[in-house]
Amino acid sequence: MKIVNGKKYIHKSALNQLSEKELNRVNKARGFLPSSCSSDYNIIAFTKDQVEFIMCNSFDYYYEPLIEYRFIVKMNDRLVGKEVIFRKSDENNPRVFHKRYLFINKTYKNFSYEDDKIRGDYIDSLDLDKKKIGRFIYWNDILKKYNLEFFSPNKHKGTYKKEKP
C-alpha cells in the first residue's frame, strides 16, 4: 500500500493488505457508486473523510500510469455516501502515479514487482521537484532528460538506465 500525505492508495487486487475496518469502509463506499462504475476502477485511495475509486487503464503498461478519472465518495459522519463526486483528469496534464509496486502484492502478474521497485529507487535518487512529479507535463520532461522508458514491458525485465547520466 502506498501512503502519501495521509492518503492510502492500493490496487484492487491487493485489498488483502487492508485491515478489516478499512476493507469494510471501502466496501461500504463501493455501494454508493453509480452502477456504471461498480467495477470500472483499479485503484482505491482513502482518507478518514473519503474513499476514491480511480480508473487508471495504463496501470499495467506505463511505469508511471496516468489517472483518467475518479469517483469520490464522501465518508465523513455527516455525508456517509450522500455525496459522490466524479472528477475527470485534465487531459492536457493528467496526474501521474509513481512506484506502482507499492500499490500491489509481490505476486502481481501483470508486471515485474522487482523491476518496478528498482526503477522507483532510481527515480528517488534523482534531484527532482517532488511537488511537480505528479503531473504528466513535468514528468514527461523528466523522462526525456534522463532517457527513461515510458512504457513498462509487461511480465519481463524492462530497460532503463540504472546509473545517473
Does position 129 have pLDDT exceeding 60, yes or no?
Answer: yes
Mean pLDDT of 115-133: 92
Give the whole-angstrom CA distance, residue 3 versus residue 9.
Answer: 6
**What would the pLDDT profile of 77-96 be if each residue is shown by its tens digit?**
665 667 889 999 999 999 99
Can you give the pLDDT at residue 148?
86
Helix (H, G, I), strand (E, B) or coil at 26: helix
Give domain limits for the chain: 1-165
**What would the pLDDT profile of 18-60 be if each residue is shown by its tens digit?**
999 999 999 999 988 988 776 789 999 999 899 999 999 999 9
Does position 155 have pLDDT exceeding 60, yes or no?
Answer: no
Give the whole-angstrom CA distance, residue 119 versus residue 128.
Answer: 14
CA-based nearest residue to 99, from 1, 16, 5: 1
**Residues with Cβ within 8 Å of residue 12, at least 6 apart in sequence:** 41, 42, 43, 44
Output the CA torsion 115→125→136→3 (10° steps): 80
Does position 134 have pLDDT exceeding 60, yes or no?
Answer: yes
Bigger pLDDT: 128 vs 35: 128
Does position 154 have pLDDT exceeding 80, yes or no?
Answer: no
Does position 71 have pLDDT exceeding 90, yes or no?
Answer: yes
Output the CA torsion 158→63→150→40 (10° steps): 130
pTM of the predicted model, to two decimals?
0.86
Can you give the pLDDT at residue 78?
64
Mean pLDDT of 100-106: 97
